[in-house]
Structure 1
Amino acid sequence: MNQRTREYLQGRFGDHYRRSEITLPPAADKREWGYIPFTAGAGTTMVRHKALIDLGDLSSFLARKRPRHVYFSAGRYNDPGTRSMEEKGWHESDLVFDLDGDHLPGVDPETDSYAQMLHSCKDALLRLLDFLTNDFGFGPENTSIVFSGGRGYHVHVRDESVRTLDRAARREIVEYVLGDGLDSLDRLTQTETVAGMGVKNPVEKRSLQTDGGWGERVHSRLVELTDEVRAMDESDGLDHLREFDGIGEKGATKLYEAMDERYDELKSGNLEAAGQYTTTLTRLLFERVVREESAPIDEPVTTDINRLIRLPGSLHGGSGLVVTALAHDDVEAFDPLTDAVADTFRDHKIMIESETDQQVELDGEKHNISAGHCSVRESVGVFLMVRGRAEKAPE
Structure 2
Amino acid sequence: MNERTREYLRGRFGDHYRRSDIALPPAASAREWGFIPFTAGPGTTMVRHKALLDLGDLSAFLVDTCPRHVYFSAGQYDDPGTHSMEDKGWRGSDLVFDLDSDHLPNVDPETDTYAEMLSTCKDALLRLLDFLHGDFGFDPERTSVVFSGSRGYHVHVREDDVRTLDRDARREIVEYVIGEGIDDIDQLTRVETVAGMGTKNPVEKRILKTEGGWGRRVHDRLVSVTESVQAAERSDAVEQLRAFDGIGEKGAGKLYRTMTERSEEIANGNLDAGKFIHRLAQRLFERAVDEESVPIDEPVTTDVNRLIRLPGSLHGGSGLLVTPLAHEEIEAFDPLVDAVPSTFEDAEITIESKTEQAVQLGGKRHNIQAGNDTVQESVGVFLMARGRAEKAPE
Task: Name the TM-score, length of structure 2 as normaliser.
Answer: 0.99
Where in structure 2 are the equivalents of 1:246-257 lying within 5 Å? Answer: 246-257=246-257
Distance (whole Å) between structure 2 residues aligned to residue 196 and residue 241 of structure 1: 30
Where in structure 2 are the equivalents of 1:1-395 lying within 5 Å? Answer: 1-198=1-198, 201-275=201-275, 277-395=276-394
Distance (whole Å) between structure 1 residues aligned to residue 246 and residue 178 of structure 2: 26
Shift of 1:274: 2.3
Q: Is there any run of 5+ residues in structure 2 with no aligned partner, and where? A: none
SS for the counterpart of 2:201 is: strand
Structure 2 residue identity aligned to 1:375: T
Q: Deviations over 1:325-372 (max 9, x none)?
A: 000111111111111000101111110000000111111111111100
Structure 2 residue identity aligned to 1:391: E
Q: RMSD over aligned Cα, in angstroms?
A: 0.9
Shift of 1:231: 1.9
Structure 1 residue identity aligned to 2:348: K
Distance (whole Å) between structure 2 residues aligned to residue 75 and residue 153 of structure 1: 19
Distance (whole Å) between structure 2 residues aligned to residue 88 and residue 2 of structure 1: 38
Shift of 1:31: 0.2
Distance (whole Å) between structure 1 residues aligned to residue 200 and residue 324 of structure 2: 63
Distance (whole Å) between structure 2 residues aligned to residue 234 and residue 198 of structure 1: 33
Native 8 Å contact 2:49 2:80 kept in 1 = yes
Q: Is there any run of 5+ residues in structure 1 with no aligned partner, and where? A: none
Query: Which deviates more from structure 2 when the two are superposed, residues 135-144 or residues 152-161?
Result: 135-144
Distance (whole Å) between structure 2 residues aligned to residue 140 and residue 329 of structure 1: 11
Shift of 1:198: 4.2
Structure 2 residue identity aligned to 1:51: A
Native 8 Å contact 2:132 2:138 kept in 1 = yes
Distance (whole Å) between structure 1 residues aligned to residue 85 and residue 370 of structure 2: 48
Structure 1 residue identity aligned to 2:19: R
Shift of 1:256: 1.1
Shift of 1:394: 2.5
Distance (whole Å) between structure 1 residues aligned to residue 199 and residue 67 of structure 2: 77
SS for the counterpart of 1:111 is: coil
Shift of 1:197: 3.3
Native 8 Å contact 2:139 2:159 kept in 1 = no
SS for the counterpart of 2:374 is: strand
Distance (whole Å) between structure 1 residues aligned to residue 9 and residue 155 of structure 2: 28
Seen in structure 2, the aligned counterparts of structure 1 residues 366 and 219 have a Cα distance that, compared at 3 Å, is: same
Shift of 1:199: 5.6
Query: Which deviates more from structure 2 when the two are superposed, residues 260-269 or residues 226-235?
Result: 226-235
Distance (whole Å) between structure 2 residues aligned to residue 286 and residue 262 of structure 1: 21
Distance (whole Å) between structure 2 residues aligned to residue 62 and residue 91 of structure 1: 27
Shift of 1:200: 5.7
SS for the counterpart of 1:315 is: coil
Q: Deviations over 1:253-306 (max 9, x none)?
A: 11111221111111111112222x101111000000011101110000000000
Q: Deviations over 1:149-183 (max 9, x none)?
A: 01100000000000011111111111111111002
Native 8 Å contact 2:148 2:322 kept in 1 = yes
Shift of 1:124: 0.5
Structure 2 residue identity aligned to 1:48: R
Structure 1 residue identity aligned to 2:392: A
Shift of 1:117: 1.0
Task: Name the TM-score, length of structure 1 as normaliser.
Answer: 0.98
Structure 1 residue identity aligned to 2:347: H
Shift of 1:78: 0.3
In the TM superposition, structure 1's runs of 4+ consecutive aligned residues that sit over 6 Å from their partners are none
Distance (whole Å) between structure 2 residues aligned to residue 379 and residue 106 of structure 1: 29
